[in-house]
Amino acid sequence: MHTRTPEIDQISDQFRARARDLIEGEAGPEALAGIATAHRADVDRLAIRAHAAEAENRITLSRLRTADDISRALHGYLTSEIIRGVRVAAHVEQYRRQLDRVRAAVTNARVGDGGEGGAVAVADLDAILAEPTEHPEQLSTVVAFVPEPARDRSGHFTSDDGAVTHGYPLVGWSLVVHPAPATEPRRLEPTFLVEDRALPESTLRTTYGLHLRRLI
């Protein structure tokens, strides 16, 4: 069903007025030809505007696709870099602990030998070097945020059992990098104001057990 607008009503009224004038002022074929000409002029004008709007929509769609492609590439790059950084940090921390233990073993050997440069037991070094590699904890990270212009929108959340319900105002959209492998292929997430913090949907789900049911 098409919604009538004041502009459509105005065009219809203008056409009706011209048709009435032609019918009252002309007779037979002349009146019919005048009405057809007037109708054709209205159709042509609307067609020109429709083609212009279609061309503008194509340009806008192309820009949105380009922005989405850039966003996908940025998301992939940031995901790999964040995961790599977390792993490097975990390994550096592991090597720091190993170095501290080696230093402690050397200090103990010196003290035990009266400070004369005692030997460190091979078994002690083996135990230090055999420390297993830890799997770093990977957290979701917000790498970009765009505010939401419409401040009257909100998200309605419920717990799994439906016993807890909350409504939080929508404040914008976040580009979130999730741990690999991500459980959802989501890139942009609605972000809500929870007390004094802006939290993306995934944080509300994983941290608070709240699921977004609808966004209005």
175 contacts 82 by C-beta, under 8 angstroms: no
Q: Which residue would you say has higher pLDDT here, 138 or 42?
A: 42
pLDDT of res. 135: 63
Q: Which residues contact 126 (CB under 8 A, 6 or more apart)?
A: none
Q: How confident is the model at residue 1 (pLDDT cuts 50, 70, 90)?
A: very low
Give the distance from CA 143 to its chain's centroid. Answer: 10
pLDDT in tens, 135-156: 666 677 888 888 887 767 999 9
Q: Which residue would you say has higher pLDDT here, 135 or 215?
A: 215
Burial of 211 (0-12, 13-18, 19+ CB in 10 A): middle
pLDDT of res. 204: 93
pLDDT in tens, 170-197: 999 998 887 766 565 567 899 999 998 9
